Chain A
Amino acid sequence: MVAEFFNMGGYGVYIWPGYAVVLAVLIVLGIQSRKWLLRLEKAVEDLNPEISEPPQTSEGTRP
């Protein structure tokens, strides 16, 4: 039954690579886009460290 499902009536050799490439492209593009955004946000934080650090008390210790 599992073999029949993967065979897809003889069309499995067309269907499964099709779905695999679609999912791979969408996942890779998504990961690349997200990583790009995070990399840029980190670069801005590194350039502006006073924005990313939490506020301190007048004695210089954290609340």
Chain B
Amino acid sequence: MAVAFLIGLYLALVGSPADFKQGQSVRLMYVHVPSAWMALLTYTLIAVASAVSIIWRHPLADLAAKSAAPLGLAFTGLALMTGSLWGKPMWGAWWVWDARLTSVLVLFFLYLGYMAIWQAVEDQNKASKAAAILALVGFINIPIIKFSVEWWSSLHQPASVLRLDGPSIDGSMLVPLLVMTLAFKAYFITILLWRMKAELVARKLQVLRLKKAQGA
């Protein structure tokens, strides 16, 4: 993870060219795009885990979803922040209410709502069900985000990597972007596993404390 970040940051800040239209501001792409991709990927993971939790009642499913949510919230916030920093010099505005930005803001609030349910509902079984339902209903926002720049007129540029006719981005920019994406993915997996383990240990601790209280 650390190596990927070091190589990615070097390529992003030093080892890649400026854009002929956007100049050096294009370097924000190397943190903005991976953040946005991870925001969407994390929510998709949460939705899938929620479906598994509801249908098959797998005990690790809701635990994975709960553990991933803070990461997704962070990635979404970073995507919005870096997008704003990129938008100001390019579009002349920190924020516009266009389809892409608005739908990503909705995603941010979906993450907040999902985490709030886990915090607010004391019975964790009920919290799990309510959170899972929110996650599944909110999943409609993911294709809306993805296709928003095609369905509505938007300031945001359309996809230049994940396209049916292949990436339209030059290799000198695609490579740093993919390295940074790999670094973000490695980070996500590492922190997710730590958080899942912490949730499992917390449940074990709760059981031990109950046993100790009953023993006393």
Which residues of A does B touch, CB under 8 Å?
Answer: 8-12, 14-15, 17-19, 21-22, 25-26, 29-30, 33-34, 36-37, 40-41, 43-44, 47-48
Say which residue of A9, A21, A41 sits within 8 Å of B81 (CB atoms): A21
| Residues on the B chain within 8 Å of A29, using CB | 70-71, 74, 191
A15, B28: Cβ atoms closer than 8 Å: yes
Q: Contacts A33-B191, A33-B195 hold; do A25 and B78 have CB atoms under 8 A apart?
A: yes
> In terms of DSSP, what is the predominant structure of the interface of chain B?
helix
- Stretch touching chain A among B116-124, B168-176, B200-208: B200-208
A14 touches which one: B78, B86, B197, B198 (CB < 8 A)? B86
CA–CA, A29 and B141, complex, Å: 25
**Chain A-chain B contacts (Cβ-Cβ < 8 Å), number:** 84
Known contacts being A37-B197, A37-B201, is A14 close to B28, with CB within 8 Å? yes
- Stretch from B19-27, B57-65, B157-165 that touches the partner: B19-27
Report the nearest A residue to B82, measured CB to CB.
A18
B18 contacts across to A, CB distance below 8 A = 9
